[in-house]
Amino acid sequence: MKMNTRTWMITGASGGFGRLMSERLLQRGDTVIGAVRRPQALDDLREKYPNTLITVQLDLTDADSVRTATDQAFAAVERIDVLVSNAGHGTFGAAEELTDAQIRRVIDVNLLGSITLIQAALPHLRAQGGGRVLQVTSEGGQIAYPNFSAYHASKWGTEGFIESVAQEVAPFGIEFTLLEPGPSQTGFGAALDFAPALPVYDQTPSGATRRMLEDGAFAWVDPGKVADAFIAVADVSPAPKRLALGSGPYHQIKDALESRLAELQAQHDISTAVDA
């Protein structure tokens, strides 16, 4: 292996940002462990990079599968420098339009899957003396759109988990960055699990958001540039806690934070009056 190369474990490496990252990293000489539900989806890359691409089978909805795949990944190489928790699932619909199964799946994949993956990786990262974890959430980890309530619940929950665990493991040299890109045309929108629309929501913000999605009116980010930014942030030290990617996410997150801060400050007297 060349000097200064790294080893990465990437979930969801067969598509979207995970695939783009894998292609770029392999091309520059890094080793990639692609954790995917269908290892054959990476056959073309394996033919091209037989010595630097390793695949493990992982289903984020199956905790045993996550733990087994993570153990296999760390056993296959001397060290994993960067773990990219990237795989995700999206559900679209007003809250009362969603089925129990749709809600459970997005929570199982995005929130519980990410938690289990990180839990499984932490003992290995500690044993090797540290490492970097890149957790893909989205702008939806700090702001919210109508019709994405279950998705936002999973992403806000993931961000809260990372905020806490990052403090726990910092003494072991393990660093985290939350990656918050805006919508991108990587196939995520086409793969959304849509709930049937209730007519009562047609003339509401829910209906407007549905039409925006159908019309492609969201502000898109460039998937290749986002993948490049994901890779580059692994070299930034100390690791930034968050990285918003896209003009839309930057300004919308900024506006949301300023609005929440203003509301908090306006409640100062009420908030502090209840101290024991």
pLDDT of residue 1 exceeding 50, the answer is no
User: Residue 169 falls within a domain, yes or no?
Assistant: yes
What is the distance between the terminal CA atoms of the chain, rounded to a whole angstrom? 61
pLDDT of residue 2 exceeding 50, the answer is no
Per-residue DSSP letter, 59 = -
Instruction: Write down the pLDDT at residue 163.
Output: 97
CB 159 within 8 Å of CB 177:
no
pLDDT of residue 144 exceeding 90, the answer is yes
The more confidently predicted of residues 2 and 190 is 190
Q: pLDDT tens digit string along 255-271? A: 999 999 999 999 999 99
Question: For the chain, how many structural domains are there in total?
Answer: 1
User: Residue 1 falls within a domain, yes or no?
Assistant: no
User: Residue 216 falls within a domain, yes or no?
Assistant: yes
User: Residue 78 falls within a domain, yes or no?
Assistant: yes
Encoded tokens for 87: 């795989």
Catalytic residue flag (residue 151): yes
User: Residue 2 falls within a domain, yes or no?
Assistant: no
User: Residue 251 falls within a domain, yes or no?
Assistant: yes
Helix axes 113-127, 149-169, angle to 10 degrees: 20
Model pTM score: 0.93
Q: Which residues of 218-230 are buried (b: 16+ CB within 10 A; e: fewer)?
A: beebebeebbebb
Q: Which of 145, 151, 201, 250 is catalytic?
A: 151
Distance CA 1, CA 17 (A): 25
Q: What is the CA radius of gyration of the chain?
A: 20
List the CATH number of the domain containing 37: 3.40.50.720
Phi and psi based region of residue 4 (left: phi greater than 0; alpha: psi -120 to 50; beta: remaining): left
Q: pLDDT tens digit string along 78-128? A: 999 999 999 888 999 999 999 999 999 999 999 999 999 999 999 999 999
In whole numbers, what is the pLDDT of the chain averaged over residues? 94
Provide the residue range defining the domain that includes 45: 7-272
CB 31 within 8 Å of CB 7:
yes
CB 70 within 8 Å of CB 117:
yes
pLDDT of residue 75 exceeding 90, the answer is yes
CB 184 within 8 Å of CB 222:
yes
